Amino acid sequence: TLQHLFKQIFQLSLGLQEDDNRKALLVSRKKKPEDTIVDLKGIKIGNGEQHLITGPCSVESYEQVREVAEAMKAQGLKLLRGGAFKPRTSPYDFQGLGKEGLEILKRVAEELDMVVISEVMNPNDVEMACEYIDVIQIGARNMQNFDLLKEVGGTDKPVLLKRGLSATIDEFVKAAEYILAKGNGNVMLCERGIRTYERATRNTLDISAVPILKQETHLPVLVDVTHSTGRRDLLLPTAKAAFAIGADAIMAEVHPDPAVALSDSAQQMDISQFNDFVQSLRDAGLYKL
């Protein structure tokens, strides 16, 4: 019927508009065809080299961070992540050392010439945190904390944005757009597993998200193998898959003594496992740095 045709034409024009919006996104390859390379104190993410980002889930003490950092250093790794502000399901779980944790990270980084990545959860903390850290991490639970995104968009710090627990790729891309729209183009996207019905892993690593994000955006794409699997025995195989599919960097958690870690003890590697992990990736020809 005629009425129906008009309705279809209306929907068609909506489609065209949607298409234009996508074209207009700052994160889109249509807007900027060439890869964005994010510079982390001299280490380039997004230039084709593939990196490892490691460190403890939570910063617990200077000694703990230092021990992990030394092990990283011995392997030639400089990208150190550690949590000072910890989003925890229960208010009675360890909430992180806060500013004190950032101070520890900065001290170790200065001693060993490393790059510090740490999560910020509150817009109020962004300015303070920037004095201590080199890369601001936005965690999965805050992917759509839009005031936080706007706040970090107003800084010139590189941002590591994690995909939300059940965010679509489209929502993920638009969350990054919030940051670019405020003027900060140094954004890295991190796939960290999505929530599905499957219980064998903590989350389901959506490995296909890597090539999709690389195609649709010009931003570097990372994979967090620790949180996507929640299982120490899966870190190595999923890291291989992530490098093979083209991830610009892989994140994994390391703790001197995982059994007594204040968070995520079941999924962190100890130093010896970490060394095996790096070596195995090198032996497989997948990690070349």
Choosing from 17, 110, 208, 266, the residue that interacts with its own copies (CB under 8 A) is 208
89 binds its own copies (CB under 8 A): yes
Site for its own copies in 115-174 (CB under 8 A): 121-124, 141-142, 144-147, 165-166, 168-171, 174
47 binds its own copies (CB under 8 A): no
Shortest spacing between CB 174 and its own copies, in angstroms: 5
* Of residues 195 and 282, the one with the C-beta less far from its own copies: 195
Binding mask 240-259 for its own copies (x = CB under 8 A): xxxxxxx-------------
Provide CB contacts within 8 A for 274, sequence distance 6+. Answer: 54, 71, 75, 252, 254
* Of residues 109 and 169, the one with the C-beta less far from its own copies: 169
253-258: list long-range contacts, CB under 8 Å, 24+ apart. Answer: 253/54, 253/55, 253/56, 253/57, 253/226, 254/54, 254/55, 254/56, 254/68, 254/71, 254/72, 255/56, 255/57, 255/64, 255/68, 256/56, 256/64, 256/67, 256/68, 258/232
57 binds its own copies (CB under 8 A): no
* Of residues 34 and 198, the one with the C-beta less far from its own copies: 198
Gap between the Cα atoms of 289 and 275, Å rounded: 14
Shortest spacing between CB 211 and its own copies, in angstroms: 4
Residue 14: CB atoms within 10 Å:
10
Choosing from 102, 194, 251, 269, the residue that interacts with its own copies (CB under 8 A) is 194
Site for its own copies in 260-289 (CB under 8 A): 284-286
Choosing from 72, 101, 105, 178, the residue that interacts with its own copies (CB under 8 A) is 178
Residue 194 Cα distances to 143, 185, 199, 228, angstroms: 13, 25, 12, 7
Residue 275: CB atoms within 10 Å:
15
Q: Please give the structure tokens belonging to residue 136.
A: 């601001």
Count of residues in contact with its own copies, rule CB under 8 A: 72
289 touches 76 (CB < 8 A): yes
* Of residues 43 and 121, the one with the C-beta less far from its own copies: 121
Binding segment for its own copies (CB under 8 A), chosen from 57-65, 104-112, 200-208, 264-272, is: 200-208
User: The dihedral of CA 243, 249, 252, 255: what is its sign?
Assistant: positive
Shortest spacing between CB 67 and its own copies, in angstroms: 26
* Of residues 42 and 200, the one with the C-beta less far from its own copies: 200
112 by Cβ neighbours in 10 Å (0-12 / 13-18 / 19+) ranks as: middle
Choosing from 183, 195, 257, 266, the residue that interacts with its own copies (CB under 8 A) is 195
Alpha carbons within 13 A on the beta-carbon side of 282: 12
* Of residues 160 and 234, the one with the C-beta less far from its own copies: 234
